[in-house]
Amino acid sequence: MTFEITGEPARRPRGSFWKRQFAPNLTEPQMVFDVVFGVIAPILCFYFDPLVFKGGIVGPPLHQPYQLFAYAITALEISLLVVSILFDRRLGRWSGFVGGALISGAVFSSIVGFAILPYSSIALVLLIGALGFIPFLTAFVYLRVGWRALKHEAQPVDRSMINGLLVGAIIALVVPALLSLYVARSASKSIDTILHGDSQQAENAVAHLRWLPFVPQQNLEPLINAYLVETDINRKEIIKNSYQVLAGENIENRLAIMND
């Protein structure tokens, strides 16, 4: 049986495959697909990321400088997707904004998918390369749910829809960009304090960094580089302890991995 998100029985839309995918009513199989590939799969991809933002299986991560931005925009998109699924027709005037933001997320996911496509294709022999194709499925989910929210009860395209698309797109990109910029600058300043301040200043800087939602690995690399060349035992211990708290791993273990 097919259901609307409200739980009321709904007829299964007829027509071509694509017409059914973008029909006004959300079916139960579509909702399951949306949750799996719009929420669960992106989180698992980031957690097990072997190549793109975190760990490189054949060298440094491909796009580490964009790690925080990617995490931020994905967190926003997942939140909006859940809101759209839960409230659907009750979004009211917010439907245009939500739809525009989700469609922007679809574009972003597609860009990520194409950026790593050559590596995903090669890594298919290791099976883990299949993770590289998930961004395309995620993009499809965001596009479908975003379009449904943007249309809002199948209303024709009008100025309010275009405005919603533009505003949603701006918010979806600007908010993660500003967040990543703030975290990057704040982390850089705190890392500098750890490297050049006394033990108390370093402790305060570490405490400040722990309040941040996320500290990209690239911001911690200066600690590794400084640890390698530091000759003062006390300074070396400060750097080691700071890295342990921030990264959750021993700096010696990290160096061993990098030197493999």
Q: Please, which residues have CB within 8 angstroms of residue 154's CB and are 6 or more apart in sequence?
A: 24
What would the mean pLDDT of 95-104 be, rounded to a whole number?
86
Average pLDDT over residues 159-188: 82
Asked whether the beta carbons of 95 and 152 are under 8 A apart, the reply is yes
pTM value is: 0.72
For residue 3, what are the β-bridge partners?
9
pLDDT in tens, 101-131: 999 999 999 998 898 888 777 766 565 656 7
| Residue pair 47/40 in contact by the 8 Å Cβ criterion | no
CB atoms within 10 A of CB 253: 11
The whole-number pLDDT of residue 81 equals: 92
Report d(CA 203, CA 193) in Å as an integer: 9
DSSP β-bridge partners for residue 9: 3
Mean pLDDT of 48-76: 77
Q: What is the pLDDT of residues 143-153, one digit of tens each?
A: 999 888 877 64
> Can you tell me the distance from the alpha carbon of 46 to that of 109, in angstroms, rounded to the nearest whole number?
13
**Encoded amino acid at 184, one letter:** A
pLDDT average, residue stretch 153-160: 56
H-state helical runs in the chain? 17-21, 28-35, 41-47, 67-87, 95-115, 117-123, 134-151, 159-196, 199-210, 217-229, 233-247, 251-258
Q: Region 54-77: what's the mean pLDDT?
A: 78
Cα(187)–Cα(180) distance, integer angstroms: 10
Q: Compute φ and ψ for 200, nearest 5 degrees.
A: -70, -45
Q: Is the pLDDT reported for residue 55 higher than 70?
A: no
Task: Tell me what the mean pLDDT of segment 77-98 comes to.
Answer: 82
C-beta separation of 206 from 240 below 8 A? no
The DSSP bridge partners found for residue 144 are: none
